[in-house]
Amino acid sequence: MEARRDSNLAWSAFAIGSTLYTAFSITPAVRGESSAEVFDTVHRLAGELARWHPPLQLVTQTVFVREAADREFCEAVFGAFPRHPQALTHVVLQPPADGARVAVEAWAVGGPQVRVQRESPWRVEVRQEGLRWIHVAGLYARLPGAPLMAQAQELFDRCGWQLREAGANWRSVVRMWWQVPDILGPNGSGRRYAELNRAREEAFRQILRPPVVDGAADGPAAPPPLSEFLYPASTGIGAEPGGTLALASVALTGLSGKGALLGLENPLQMPAYCYPPHLAAPPPMFSRAVALRLPEGLWIWISGTASIVGAEVEHPDDPTAQTEQTLDNIAALLSGENFARHGWPGVEAGLEDLVSARVYVKRPQDVPACRAVCERRLAKCPKLYLIADICRPALRVEIEGVAFVGPHRARAG
């Protein structure tokens, strides 16, 4: 992995075969009016993309804004990104922790064997040497006055439609992001997050339900238990009140004969989908991580991770200790011992292999403490610090990311 960072821009780059993947984290170098910050951020990203050889093609850009009034402006400006009309834009109402009005996490690819094509306003596809990456983003709830469960079901339906149009389905999905305004709901009860979990449970049950065959003597076969389903890696995180429920996802097809996928659970944590009812009813259905093994290396999508050991919050009043525990949890998740217990001996990764990260901090006053830990333990990784509420009242920080390791550490025996 190559990496570079300054005070407002960081990137990392790694190759899968002949294709170069690049992750950028950018905040504006100028501060002031929204338009000035947005145009500065776009200009800096465009300049970075232009200097690479082979030329990079922008795939996705997740734009984090401080104020709801800036969402449409950012959609218009980033959506008309110069020389990159194929790029997909997803705008989220999560304030950058440094006080900026805008920040962006962007992914781009380059190489002779890669093609990027915009297939709809909400979908872009990347074809690379037989693999097809299907990115769906920019999905915002159209029923803002409805219960959150109904909003989530509507987004599941729209995302599923995009997958079907691409010739894929929910079993192809490896990563999801949910941004939930006022995630803890009235009085911090967590009711809105519970509604999202109910929508997830119902959606995954529908996915696993076998088709009814007309004339079948014994009816359809019983579906496999949900515990055997490869849940996507996922983040369900708060967004500022005044925003809308939003969904983005990544799916992968064309893997047969080229590699393998593995859902990872954490040796320090109970699987989220096994949480007891007093903590989550129904439980959140996601994998702690999903790993993709290819001959050229190992790609790992790390779900939103917090200071939870077993199923309980550790260090409830200490943001520094919570950040340390969160990174300890991610390190345990990526360890060779954990891959071996999942049936992939000889595979390992570490915190030093993270190529992109988002650090969500509940309270602005905790940012310096969380940042100090992350800058020490994730020194080279491009990352954004964002203000966002988290799914349990006692949690102060949540971290997600992507890790990549080369083929010398990515082969299973």
Burial of 202 (0-12, 13-18, 19+ CB in 10 A): middle
- What was the pLDDT predicted at 189? 62
**Catalytic annotation, pick one of 37, 105, 195, 398:** 398
For 319-385, give the secondary structure using H, E and C.
HHHHHHHHHHHHHHHHCHHHHHHCCCCCCCCCHHHEEEEEEEECCHHHHHHHHHHHHHHCCCCCEEE
pLDDT at site 242? 85
Spans of all domains in the chain: 2-206+227-407
| The length of the chain, given as a count of residues | 413
**pLDDT at site 404:** 97
The fold for domain 2-206+227-407 equals 60s Ribosomal Protein L30; Chain: A; (3.30.1330)
Cβ–Cβ under 8 Å, residues 148 and 192: yes
Determine contact, residues 284/242, Cβ cutoff 8 Å: no
Does the active-site annotation cover 398?
yes
CA distance 256 to 261: 10
Q: Can you say whether residue 164 is alpha, beta or left, with left for phi > 0 and alpha for psi between -120 and 50 degrees? A: alpha
> What amino acid occupies position 393?
P
Predicted pLDDT at 352:
97
Output the pLDDT for position 30.
92
Please tell me the predicted confidence (pLDDT) of residue 209.
60
How would you write the pLDDT of the chain (413 residues) with one tens digit per residue? 677 777 799 999 999 989 999 999 999 999 999 999 999 999 999 999 999 887 899 999 999 999 999 999 999 999 998 789 999 999 999 999 999 999 999 999 999 999 999 999 999 999 998 899 999 999 999 987 899 999 999 999 999 999 999 999 999 999 999 999 999 987 566 688 999 999 999 998 887 765 444 444 444 444 445 455 689 999 999 999 888 999 999 999 999 888 999 999 999 999 999 999 888 878 999 999 999 999 999 999 999 999 999 999 999 989 999 999 999 999 999 999 999 999 999 999 999 999 999 999 999 999 999 999 999 999 999 999 999 999 999 999 999 999 999 886 654 43
Dihedral over alpha carbons 96, 98, 99, 102 (to 10 degrees): -40
